[in-house]
Structure 1
Amino acid sequence: MFQIKEVYTLTREYRDIAGAGGLKDVAQELSEALVRKGIKVTVFMPRYGFLDPEKLGFWQTGVSFSVDMDYAHEERREEISLWQGELNGVRIFLIEADRYAEKLGIYTYTEEEEKREPWKKKGTGHFDYFAMNILLQKTALCTAIYLEEKPEIIHCHDGHTACTPALAREIMGFRHYFPYSGFLITIHNAGLGYHQDVADLPFAKANTGLPWRVINDSLLNGSFNPFLCGSKYAVINTVSEQYAKELQETDLDAHTGWLGHALKERGIKLYGITNGITPEDFDPRKPEKLGLPAGFDPLKGDFAGKKVCRQELLRKIKERDLRVKAFGSPEDREGWPLLTAISRLTEQKGINILAQTLRMLYEQGEEFLTVILGTGTPEIEESLMAIARDFPDRMALLLGYDPKLANLIYAAGDFFVIPSNYEPCGLTDFMAQLMGNLPIVRHTGGLVKVKDGFNGFVYVEQKPEELAGAILRAFEVYRKDPARIKQMIKQAIEHIYENYTWDKVSEKYLELYRKALNLRPISKD
């Protein structure tokens, strides 16, 4: 069998350097798992303006060159240079370029940038997002040639790097150098707004340098779509088996503008691999690492420290000993379960449904506490604030994000609610389970790994009444059969260790890498 010795990884995020979403964890954890298997891994990503590479332990390589970056009516080149570093055995190149150095956020403008230039509105996407992506992809391919390296696999994460297979197969010079490399594209979120598509076709043609036949063959809803562009030359997967099925076999694909069906019509199968987790990173037996006031051992049924975490969380909220804005101040009551959520407060995450459900349950007089952490759309934030105002001794809304506070909420909670409309994978259910906090989820996408009554509680139809039913079922077991709750927590943790560590999940990626090798124009076997 052909041996995979070297993998290039192209990403806009990497957890220990710069992160925004779940992609940062996958890029780093998968890379490190492959290194543990003896594979050489090289990561390429931008050197954003908020990064100090020397403080991160990077050094200047002395490698620099110009990259063709034409606009529709202007032939042009951009100068790049490379910083090099190593993290846990992974070689990482940070790409130095004016286009990246001026950015203070990974994907969007910051408050500081808006103050300098008012048109760069905080929270809006970078105007040159497409060129940022193309520069990253071309630089990675040019670097391989410059260093005379021929990686067996080039792994492209999300729409930001999904054109790479087409560039390598279609552009003169690249196509002669990379016939032995296979390509994998991983879709972390196929929702509208995540494709990195561009409607200006002459610009797409000029900036990528791809032939018009490729541009015209890569259109989805009138825009040039990087996923369609790269899919002809690569194996393509998403981050759970169920999400892959939903995109190609159900109407949930409407959330993507029918990307999954467009791929299916071209005869392209979308594979699914559920993301892994490193359980040691969320082990409540090591409270110092997580910033917890006390440790506990869910596998052994020892939850004394969990009660301490709950008391500390409620104290912090009451005394406003927080780095986030708080509304409400729940009072601890014996026998009342603590319902928790850590999420973007958006419709995609189903938080509008959660808000309706919480109001309904509290108005019915149900006895439980709620703590929610996150930020989101103003309307949903306001609806949750209103509940916290109306039931201040039962619910707290914490607006913002603080990783140590998040760990405390995971550790303090009895139940963790994830009512997503769609969910490519979901990792917060794992984090909660590892800290003895059972998930209550909607049966969709990657959340189908939660089995009702085994490692959490599940509802199907996206209605407040259905979510309320699942919550009340969980509360009933909590009150009447605490031994079963302890058993479910134990089963949940064992299920993660048996199926979802990155060393296990990386084996599935190696299978897709082998499929990618079979798509090469020249076989080396």
Structure 2
Amino acid sequence: MNILFASPEVVPFAKTGGLADVAGSLPVALKQLGHDVRVITPKYKVTDGKTFHLTPVVESLDVPISNRMETCSILEGTLGDAVPVYFIKNDNYYHRDHLYGDSQGDYPDNAERFIYFSRSILEACKAVNFAPDILHCNDWQTGLAPVYLRKIYQNEPVFARTASVYTVHNLGYQGLFWHYDMHLTGLGWDLFTPNGLEYYGKINLMKGGLLWADLISTVSQKYSEEIQTKEYGHGLEGVLQFRSADLYGIINGVDYSLWNPETDPHIVQNYSVDDLSGKLACKRDLLKEFGLPVNDSWPVLAMISRLDDQKGFDLVAEIVDTLMNMRQNLYFLILGTGHERYHKLFSHIAEKYPKKFGVRLEFNAKLAHKIEAGADMFLMPSRYEPCGLNQIYSLRYGTVPIVRATGGLNDTIKTFQPNANKGAGLGTGIKFNAYKAENLLSAIKNGLKAYKEKKSWEALMIRGMQEDFSWSASAKEYEKLYKKAYEKVHR
């Protein structure tokens, strides 16, 4: 199939979040399945043309915005060994220090910037003469592309056989803008209705993708169910219920060439499912990194996360003193940045418990690898989590996840049952359901209890290390989804 993958950010060219990782990996995995895959993304200031060997393929392309034309050019680079990437270059829109905003907030013209990008996706196909079977759009920044496909470009020869797929990576970010920006779309005010792009008096760009794409996906089966409820739907649960027959959940893959204890260059000693001896060396190295005294018998509980309520830090704040004062000693390590109140709280806790608690208020990729390798348990008590990746990394490193049963955390972690399977045990991690501090504390206590049973604990580690969440498996699921979308359009 001919597949055009549209994303506002792509690793290694530009990144603010997990979408960029998906966009940098899934197209490569689809290419390996034999498809002609191409990627399209804006050319940001951070994307250095010389570093990535970008070459011009279209010198000048007029793209409609409102009642005028804005000119861009198209550059081409390569993802992996052989996936072409088209960059929409318009310096007025994209040559800025950040992708979506700065310390003052979102850029005030984000509506115009990404309405333009959505329209340029379709115009670029015509300009480079690429006829996609599948147009795969991602998040609010590309939400209007499926609308343009159906409303304006449907009868163009290059799109005669094109079906669209729209993926929601986080429903919390919808691309909401005031209604005066509607003229920028060029779609006409007849689409500014509750059955169209209108959302409580504003334009909702994500709603466009949800209503006009042929099929919709999100990044776990559980999350696809959750977002149809008021609790998780962020006001779009009615739209998602309306499209429920066309809504699918596919777990993100991970890049095991980067996250693998057998080959990881960032850890003090490599180890494998067949030889776990290096994990103790990694634990000792991690504790020294945090300036904590080393006691091999104390388990290490760790978190790598943005410090905010969505990630469960309001629950952690309630129980952290209890954890530090329990009869069973443990270390608790946190890496990340976020809300100032958590910066202050955890800095205070580190001073209060200098031999047990460590915090680094930063983003540090090397230390993240050391934590995955050196910790015994990894904590993810999220309020909601569309997919999550760290729990999958933790499995591969033999670091037992303790997670709330939401979204991708629920779908990727199998509940630990120590007495099942004739006493050999089943499962890969510990889960809790209700979003309450006492439930989180109980889950951690269950982990500490299990940690004491060394033989059972090692079996739990090994089961996790044997799980496979590689992109090749996820790509095959997307391949099935593309075929369904194509058949829906052509039946």
TM-score (norm 2): 0.93
The aligned residue for residue 270 of structure 1 is 247
The aligned residue for residue 295 of structure 1 is 270
Which of 68, 83, 86 lines up with 1:76 in the alignment? 68
- Is 1:86 aligned to residue 78 of structure 2? yes
Separation (CA, whole Å) in 2 of partners of 1:268 and 1:22: 26
The aligned residue for residue 435 of structure 1 is 397
- Counterpart amino acid of 1:335? S
Q: 1:213 to 1:268 in 2, by over 3 A?
A: farther
The aligned residue for residue 198 of structure 1 is 177
The aligned residue for residue 419 of structure 2 is none
> 3-state SS of the aligned residue for 1:312?
helix
Q: 1:501 to 1:359 in 2, by over 3 A?
A: same
Separation (CA, whole Å) in 2 of partners of 1:227 and 1:515: 22
The aligned residue for residue 279 of structure 1 is 256
Q: 1:517 to 1:405 in 2, by over 3 A?
A: same
Which of 108, 118, 137 lines up with 2:118 in the alignment? 137
8 Å Cα contact 1:168-1:175 kept in structure 2: no
Task: Give 5+ residue unaligned stretches, structure 2.
Answer: 417-426
Which of 222, 226, 248 lines up with 1:246 in the alignment? 226
The aligned residue for residue 316 of structure 1 is 289
- 5 Å matches for 1:26-65? 26-65=22-61
Shift of residue 293, structure 1, vs aligned partner: 1.5
Which of 450, 469, 480 lines up with 2:413 in the alignment? 450
Moved more, 356-365 or 169-178: 169-178
- Is 1:359 aligned to residue 321 of structure 2? yes
Shift of residue 190, structure 1, vs aligned partner: 0.5
- Is 1:102 aligned to residue 95 of structure 2? yes
- Is 1:518 aligned to residue 490 of structure 2? no
Q: Per-residue CA shift, 1:139-171, capped at 9, x if unaligned?
A: 121111122221100100111101101111112
> 3-state SS of the aligned residue for 1:441?
strand
8 Å Cα contact 1:103-1:109 kept in structure 2: no
Separation (CA, whole Å) in 2 of partners of 1:98 and 1:279: 36
- Is 1:225 aligned to residue 204 of structure 2? yes
The aligned residue for residue 460 of structure 2 is 488
Separation (CA, whole Å) in 1 of partners of 2:181 and 2:79: 37
- Is 1:349 aligned to residue 327 of structure 2? no
- Is 1:411 aligned to residue 373 of structure 2? yes
Shift of residue 308, structure 1, vs aligned partner: 1.8
Q: 1:222 to 1:263 in 2, by over 3 A?
A: farther
> 3-state SS of the aligned residue for 2:231?
helix
> 3-state SS of the aligned residue for 1:348?
helix
Shift of residue 396, structure 1, vs aligned partner: 0.7
- Counterpart amino acid of 1:483? K
Task: Give 5+ residue unaligned stretches, structure 1.
Answer: 111-120, 319-329
Runs of 4+ in 1 over 6 A off after TM superposition: none
Separation (CA, whole Å) in 2 of partners of 1:267 and 1:12: 26
Q: CA RMSD in A?
A: 1.8
Q: Per-residue CA shift, 1:308-334, capped at 9, x if unaligned?
A: 22222222222xxxxxxxxxxx32223
8 Å Cα contact 1:44-1:136 kept in structure 2: no
Question: How many pairs does the alignment contain?
Answer: 476
Moved more, 436-445 or 58-67: 58-67
8 Å Cα contact 2:132-2:158 kept in structure 1: no
The aligned residue for residue 169 of structure 2 is 188
Separation (CA, whole Å) in 2 of partners of 1:186 and 1:227: 10
8 Å Cα contact 2:24-2:79 kept in structure 1: no
Identity of aligned residues (%): 29
Q: 1:244 to 1:125 in 2, by over 3 A?
A: same
> 3-state SS of the aligned residue for 1:279?
coil
Which of 321, 332, 347 lines up with 2:294 in the alignment? 332
Q: Per-residue CA shift, 1:165-203, capped at 9, x if unaligned?
A: 111111268756523100000000001xx1012222x42
- Counterpart amino acid of 2:434? E
- 5 Å matches for 1:360-509? 360-448=322-410, 449-453=412-416, 454-479=427-452, 481-495=453-467, 497=468, 500-509=469-478
8 Å Cα contact 2:3-2:133 kept in structure 1: yes
8 Å Cα contact 2:174-2:207 kept in structure 1: no
TM-score (norm 1): 0.87
Shift of residue 21, structure 1, vs aligned partner: 1.1
Moved more, 58-67 or 35-44: 58-67
